[in-house]
A and B are shown apart, each in its own frame.
Chain A
């Protein structure tokens, strides 16, 4: 089948999203006021380390001042990568057509 792999990957992503939605509903139901789910797993690891009494000896020189600025920079990072991938794949496809 020509698009067999695309379909399989799409199905996998749908399953992934569906499990997320179910899981989210279950978690939201048990969450107390002010608690937030879906944080970073490294926060948990950091919590484990800080519980042992360790204090980080240095911090980041600069941190994004807000969640919005942080997501801007993340989106920018993804955009840079996506532009390069799209350019190269388009270039290859174009040169195959004309060859």
Chain B
């Protein structure tokens, strides 16, 4: 097996090492840096003020580890993997999710030649910040509108997964507009990713919805403590499942 083959096996979420020319990789580092700094600050605060939420944080991080290691075959003959960062985004917001994403991306860049150190900034932005931000806002909007909690979590996680690769396509199209220009390049990249990712996004949404149900059943007091669910909603959800 030639070495180039190994480098190209993998997922679409992460831009590979060396595939972002200067100045783009530096730009994405600068864009992601403030989110990581705020995320570390929020983590510190969480550890000091809401210690009981730490196991939930571990679950959110572990979930990214599991889901981003599962390369699933999609419908068009290629493979990709879900991100799992939607859960962290819903539970803790995009800044803490960015820190969780960073840990996984460093692991994959160093040990698996997935993504890369120079493209870390861009990859943290798409998987750790943009996706979880979508999940966070959909969840907030959904609960405020009084929508079904599990349906909201499903949409939040599935759309976070989809939005991650939309951002990846934007990042690649900005760096490689080619002769087609930005929009032409964007649709070319998005076309490769879209077909692969839509079924996986649905699976990811479903799995995260299930995990959320178990959190509601086992430790609902953390969810109310983090202002994610009101106590009346928790009672209603638990009664429905009983």
Q: Which residue of A lies closest to B213 (CB)?
A: A5
Secondary structure dominating the interface of A:
helix
Secondary structure dominating the interface of B:
helix
Size of the A side of the interface (Cβ < 8 Å), in residues, is 57
Given known pairs A46-B8, A64-B6, the reply for A12 and B176 (CB within 8 Å) is no
Q: Which residues of B sit under 8 angstroms from A16, Cβ to Cβ?
A: 199, 203
Given known pairs A49-B19, A67-B1, A89-B59, the reply for A41 and B210 (CB within 8 Å) is no
Restricting to B192-242, which residues have a CB under 8 Å from any CB of A? 192-193, 196-197, 199, 202-203, 206-207, 209-210, 213-214, 218-219, 241-242
Cross-chain contact B69 with A12 (CB below 8 angstroms): no
Given known pairs A16-B199, A74-B71, the reply for A48 and B118 (CB within 8 Å) is no
Known interface pairs A56-B16, A57-B22, A81-B67; 13 further A-B residue pairs with C-beta atoms within 8 A, sorted by A's residue number: A5-B150, A8-B206, A39-B78, A42-B11, A42-B15, A42-B16, A48-B188, A49-B19, A60-B109, A64-B113, A74-B112, A88-B59, A92-B55
Q: Using a CB–CB distance below 8 Å, which chain B residues touch chain A?
A: 1, 3, 6-19, 21-22, 55-56, 58-59, 61-71, 73-80, 107-113, 116-118, 150, 172, 176, 178, 188-189, 192-193, 196-197, 199, 202-203, 206-207, 209-210, 213-214, 218-219, 241-242
